[in-house]
Amino acid sequence: MSYFAHESSYIDEGCSIGDGTKIWHFSHVMPRCIIGKTCNIGQNVVISPEVVLGDNVKIQNNVSIYTGVTCDDDVFLGPSCVFTNVINPRSAVNRKSEYLKTHVGKGASIGANATIVCGHDIGKYAFIGAGAVVTKHVPDFALVVGNPARQTGWMSEYGHKLIFDEKGDAFCPESGAQYRLENGVVRKIN
């Protein structure tokens, strides 16, 4: 075994777990999940069947990731955030054939207690504020907050708010990387 799993965790058969991944107390990884290398899965996390996580995904305590969710490399999932997979759940109605997919792009961060309503993708390096309720697609590098979540700005790959000048250029104060905002789309220049 090239990953660590705490003795209180449950890992169902048919999962693929990458080298260096750590799975902590009372977490449950369900069948047919694919978990990348060097992931850290906190305490009391549920990863439902067929979820796919890239490399270096960090999942804090009490997170629920349901079938239909995929996360690219370097995604951060804050404490107690949750994904859904059925838009109109009812206990007495089986809707497993209606699961909607959600994709979280590379380097995105989802804050504590945020809810991602199924069928809405999170762009790469997007930043979802604590407690936000995401009810629509989130663009790359976008900062969204509130219920329902609304965009209030843009974030760098290092997680700093970007301030664009009149030409549409901004610089990350930590990395020095340049970003350009054109037609409502942010891209990294260098």
Each residue's pLDDT tens digit, 26-44:
999 999 999 999 999 999 9
Average pLDDT over residues 55-71: 97
Q: What is the pLDDT of residue 1?
A: 63
Q: 169 pLDDT exceeds 90?
A: yes
CATH number of the domain encompassing residue 163? 2.20.70
Output DSSP code: residue 159: S
Q: 20 and 92, same structural domain?
A: yes
**Residue numbers of the domain that contains 163:** 159-190
Question: 98: helix, coil or strand?
Answer: helix
| Pairwise CA distance, residues 69 & 65, whole Å | 7
* Residue where the block lists tokens 């992931």: 39
Q: 98 and 187, same structural domain?
A: no
Q: 79 and 17, same structural domain?
A: yes
Q: 59 and 34, same structural domain?
A: yes
Q: 166 and 81, same structural domain?
A: no
How many beta carbons lie within 10 A of that of residue 76, not counting itself?
21
Nearest alpha carbon to residue 44 among 92, 2, 10, 84: 10
Q: 85 and 23, same structural domain?
A: yes
Contact criterion met (CB below 8 Å) for 39 and 21: yes
Bridge partner residues of 29 (DSSP): 11, 47
Q: What is the pLDDT of residue 129?
A: 98
Mean pLDDT estimate for the chain: 97
Q: 127 and 190, same structural domain?
A: no
Each residue's pLDDT tens digit, 2-13:
999 999 999 999
Q: 100 and 37, same structural domain?
A: yes
Contact criterion met (CB below 8 Å) for 151 and 129: no
Q: 86 pLDDT exceeds 80?
A: yes
Nearest alpha carbon to residue 14 among 43, 39, 35, 41: 35
Q: 141 and 174, same structural domain?
A: no
| Pairwise CA distance, residues 158 & 32, whole Å | 32
Output DSSP code: residue 107: T
Q: What is the pLDDT of residue 190?
A: 77
What pTM does this model have?
0.96
| Pairwise CA distance, residues 70 & 54, whole Å | 8
Q: 172 and 80, same structural domain?
A: no
Each residue's pLDDT tens digit, 100-157:
999 999 999 999 999 999 999 999 999 999 999 999 999 999 999 999 999 999 999 9
CATH number of the domain encompassing residue 82? 2.160.10.10
Q: 148 and 97, same structural domain?
A: yes
Structural domains in the chain (count) = 2
Q: 163 and 149, same structural domain?
A: no
- HSE-CB for 43 with a 13 A CA cutoff: 1
Each residue's pLDDT tens digit, 117-132:
999 999 999 999 999 9
